[in-house]
Structure 1
Amino acid sequence: MTGKRILLGITGSISAYKSALLTRLLIKAGAEVQVIMTESAQAFITPLTLGTLSKRPVLTRFVSDEAAGTWNNHVELGLWADAFIIAPASAHTLARCAHGLCDDLLSAVYLSAKCPVFFAPAMDLDMYRHPTTVENLRRLESFGNHIIRAEFGELASGLVGEGRLAEPETIVQTLETFWSIDKPENPSSPAPYPLPLLNKRVLVTAGPTQEAIDPVRYISNHSTGKMGYAIAGALAQAGADVTLVSGPTALPLPHPTIRRVDVLSARQMFEAAQVAFTEADVVVLSAAVADYTPAHPADRKIKKKEDTFSIELTKTTDIAATLGAMKRDGQLIMGFALETDNERENALKKLYAKQFDWIVLNSLRDAGAGFGHDTNKITVIDKDEQTYEFALKSKIELAQDLVNLVTQKLASA
């Protein structure tokens, strides 16, 4: 980002404290940063802090010096910038920009901007889910703006859910990726390589779940998440807006634009997936979710006493079946089946029972396939029972094969 000129808009949100680190990271990456703050933002972080970090006076009003008659020219600012990032973007600011209201410097610069604009929303859980906010985000995106989705986690209210400002590192990575793949010299020329899933929203679940027995022990499985992470990376490389709901794994984020939601238990995975499912165009359910969980997990470590020990288990929510029942017209779902016996029969039952468009079948009988390997061997069956056989190959290569099936289906639709 060396030499890039970036406007950083900061609005009234507790997440404004992260803008100091964001400013510093942008400067460190070689960018010039001009901060614009709303009046309410100044209640959370001072212009002095951000002016010191950006090495430029922070702009807060149209008129900079009434006595001298000088003002901050919003048109010139809009022409100066290579990118305008509004982070955090409060619900109020999203609504104003979505409807063209122009009562402060930040919104006037937004309406004047000739550069790409990125909104990174931050607010409480229910505000972020509210239909008004959802519609405002869609409206802004329809104008050609870019949305850096809020993250899942603990919020200032004490609630846990979606609404946290994306981490500053994620915002910087998003910008770097944008400029690396979307900068043709001639605006009318095609992108450097095709992005067949551009503007498509995709949910991917990956990895195992852990079901607590006590604070020390848990029930889990051998899934490493490698297949799901490879699929998420291939989808993002194809231009999709990917939300990756991940069980515990040591794997790195496969693509900088992916928004990862980390979970532990089957319940947490269901709750996170349910949120992302409502907006997803494509859903890939590759996680190995526990079918059962301890009915009464202990709050203290269970000591070894008896020769035998029993744990009462209860069924977890069937994520695939529940989401499949919520499926809307045009939405595509890909499920996975790891089988040891009657593979095709069991896979077909799952395909129809859970309203999948594809079922990806692999067998533990096949050498080099299944958990832990860098390779896999799969058979894909669609809802018309058309079968696609893929030989043993790397999971990265297979991920691209699966993305090709999704792309072809969307193109034919």
Structure 2
Amino acid sequence: MPNPKSMKRVLVGVGGGIAAYKVCELISTLFKSGVEVRVIVTSTAQEFITPLTLATLSRHQAYTDEDFWQAKYSRPLHIELGEWADLFVIAPLTANTLAKLAHGMADNLLTNTVLASTCPVLLAPAMNTEMWEQLTVQRNWRDLLTDSRYHGMSTASGLLACDRVGAGRMAEPPEIFAYVKSLLHTAGKRDLIGKRVLISAGGTREHLDPVRFIGNPSTGKMGLALAQAALHRGANVTLVHGLASWNAPLGVQAISVISAMEMQQVMLEYLPNADVIIMSAAVADVKPRDYSLEKLPKRSLPQDLPLEPVPDIIAQLARQKQPHQKIIGFAAQNGDIVKPALEKLQKKKLDAIVANPIDQPDSGFGSDNNKAIFLDNQGRIMVIEPCSKLEMAHHLFDFI
């Protein structure tokens, strides 16, 4: 177990909606990641999930309004909890609780604790589509988010518990968990508000015919983490990615491509409006010279496959960038990772580069974790010890 003195402390407020069951996964994941968790469960939430379940998953008593109105604590409970928390998460956020927060009302333990705290508050709304789209609800949502303490997650669209198909689904627990980890890193700062961040991710495929291609094992997880980190820090994010097994975060404009040529076209299209461009994609270096519209019979496959180079996307971006723009590249290497990264940084005239090893355990392609050395064109060097890719993404934004 982590050292209790170094553990981050997250207070989870559970609102009264059917999505309350999803919070169980979030609480369990937080605890397993080394976060200390406390839970407040509203009276209406107890119609959907029991305090016992939440207490079992958090390994601590789950607090209810009954606890709030009893004088069995040495200090007022809402004051104690408000001062204890590094981060407050409210999920699901109901229309009722949203209205109370937007108008500074406090009539239960949850809302009193919000007003008694100063930490960042992450909100994950969930409600029926008609409820979510009401003008009064949307006005409350906009008004609340004008307070820099509050960080709002987008609702997803899909089949709701009422059988309605539309907006209003609560963000999934893994997405909430990622946002929590971001806010614990940044302490809620939004240093990318007003910035447009353009990110490439994943591998490209250069086809010989409809089923055969030259590719690489990149999964795009690093680019996904960069998109999450930028979004959580307030940026407007466009993510251009190869084929992926994951979904882009809610609130990110995601554009799927296959070949280097397609990625080049999209990146150049979005370049003029971007402030920060991060080329984390593993773009192919070469492609088959000839392409067959139909699958080639095995007997017709060439013994020697003629190849030709694909566009050098990052070099083109660097040539066209404006003085206010920053372009960051990646260099996945084995052996000495610094020398080739420095050469790429200088040759392609980048602002910074991330050198990361592909021949070490738990780093590189497909891994959930990574390690790296950051270098920039001012001669700065930062060594990043093994950490999650989301943590590395935040370290990179801190660096640049």
User: If the length of structure 1 is used for normalisation, what is the TM-score?
Assistant: 0.55
Contact 1:266/1:316 (<8 A) preserved: yes
Residue 305 of structure 2 aligns to a residue whose secondary structure is: coil
AA at the equivalent of 1:301: K
Q: Please say if 1:355 is aligned against 2:349.
A: yes
Q: 1:174 to 1:359 in 2, by over 3 A?
A: farther
3-state SS, counterpart of residue 299 of structure 2: coil
Superposed counterparts of 1:112-131, under 5 Å: none
- The change in CA–CA distance for 1:340 and 1:115 in structure 2 (over 3 A counts) is closer
Matched, 1:400 2:400: no
Residues 1:204 and 2:199 are matched in the alignment? yes
Does residue 316 of structure 2 align to residue 216 of structure 1?
no
Counterpart in 1 of 2:309?
Answer: 315
For residues 290-309 of structure 1, give each alpha carbon's deviation from its aligned partner in whole angstroms, at most 9, with x where no partner exists.
11112211011111116962
Q: Does the 8 Å contact 1:211/1:219 carry over to 2?
A: yes
Q: Quick check: 2:132–2:138 contact (8 Å CA) kept in 1?
A: no
Which residue of the partner structure matches residue 286 of structure 2?
A: 292
Q: Which residue of 2 aligns with 1:245?
A: 240
1:173·1:256 contact (CA, 8 Å) conserved in 2? Answer: no
Percent same amino acid at aligned positions? 33
Shift in Å, 1:343: 2.7
CA distances 1:333-387 after superposition (whole Å, capped 9, x unpaired): 1110012254322111111122211110012233322111111110001112211
Q: Judging changes above 3 Å, is the alpha-carbon distance between structure 1 residues 269 and 391 closer, same or farther for their aligned structure 2 residues? A: same
Cα distance per residue 1:241-260 (max 9 Å; x no partner): 1000010110222x311110
1:280 alignment counterpart = 274
1:377–1:392 contact (8 Å) kept in structure 2: yes
Is 2:333 the partner of 1:339?
Answer: yes
1:402 is displaced (CA, Å) by: 1.0
How far is the alpha carbon of 1:223 from its aligned partner?
0.4
Q: 1:378 maps to what in 2?
A: 372
Question: Is 1:324 paired with 2:312?
Answer: no
Matches within 5 A, 1:73-152: 81-83=136-138
Residue 236 of structure 1 pairs with residue 239 of structure 2:
no
Closer, same or farther in 2 for the Cα pair 1:386/1:115, shift >3 Å? closer
3-state DSSP class of the match of 2:197?
strand
Q: 1:269: which partner in 2? A: 263
Deviation digits for residues 50-78 of structure 1, max 9, x if unmatched? Answer: xxxxxxxxxxxxxxxxxxxxxxxxxxxxx
Cα displacement (A) at 1:400:
1.6
Residues 347, 299 of structure 1: CA spacing in aligned structure 2 closer, same or farther, 3 A cutoff? same
CA distance in 1, matches of 2:213, 2:389: 28
Post-superposition Cα deviations, 1:378-405, rounded to whole Å, max 9, x if no partner, equal 0001112211001122212211211222
Q: Can you list the C-alpha shifts for 1:112-151, whole angstroms capped at 9, x where unaligned?
A: xx9959xxxxxxxxxxxxxxxxxxxxxxxxxxxxxxxxxx
For 1:393, what is the secondary structure of its paired residue? strand
Counterpart amino acid of 2:339? E
Q: How many angstroms apart in 2 are the aligned matches of 1:290 and 1:262?
A: 16
Contact map agreement 2:341 2:353 (CA 8 A) in 1: yes
The 4+ residue runs of structure 1 with deviation greater than 6 A are: 173-177
Aligned to 2:129: 29
Say what the alpha-carbon RMSD is for the aligned residues: 3.3
Supply the distance in 1 between the matched residues of 2:298 and 2:372 (Cα, whole angstroms). 42
Contact map agreement 2:369 2:388 (CA 8 A) in 1: yes
Distance in 2, Cα, partners of 1:83 & 1:320: 41
* Residue 302 to residue 373, structure 1, CA distance change in 2 (3 Å): same
5+ residue gaps, structure 1, are 6-25, 35-79, 85-113, 118-166, 181-191, 407-413
Alignment of 1:226 with 2:326, yes or no, is no
- 1:304 alignment partner AA: K
Contact 2:128/2:168 (CA < 8 Å) preserved in 1? no
CA distance in structure 2 between the partners assigned to 1:405 and 1:173 by the alignment: 36
SS of the residue corresponding to residue 273 of structure 2 reads: coil
What residue ranges of structure 2 are gaps of 5+ in the alignment? Answer: 1-92, 99-125, 144-155, 159-165, 177-186
Q: Secondary structure at the match of 2:247?
A: coil
CA distance, structure 1, for counterparts of residue 289 and residue 279 of structure 2: 25
Shift of 1:268: 0.7
- Give the secondary structure class of the aligned counterpart of 1:398: helix
Contact 1:379–1:387, Cα closer than 8 Å, also in 2: yes
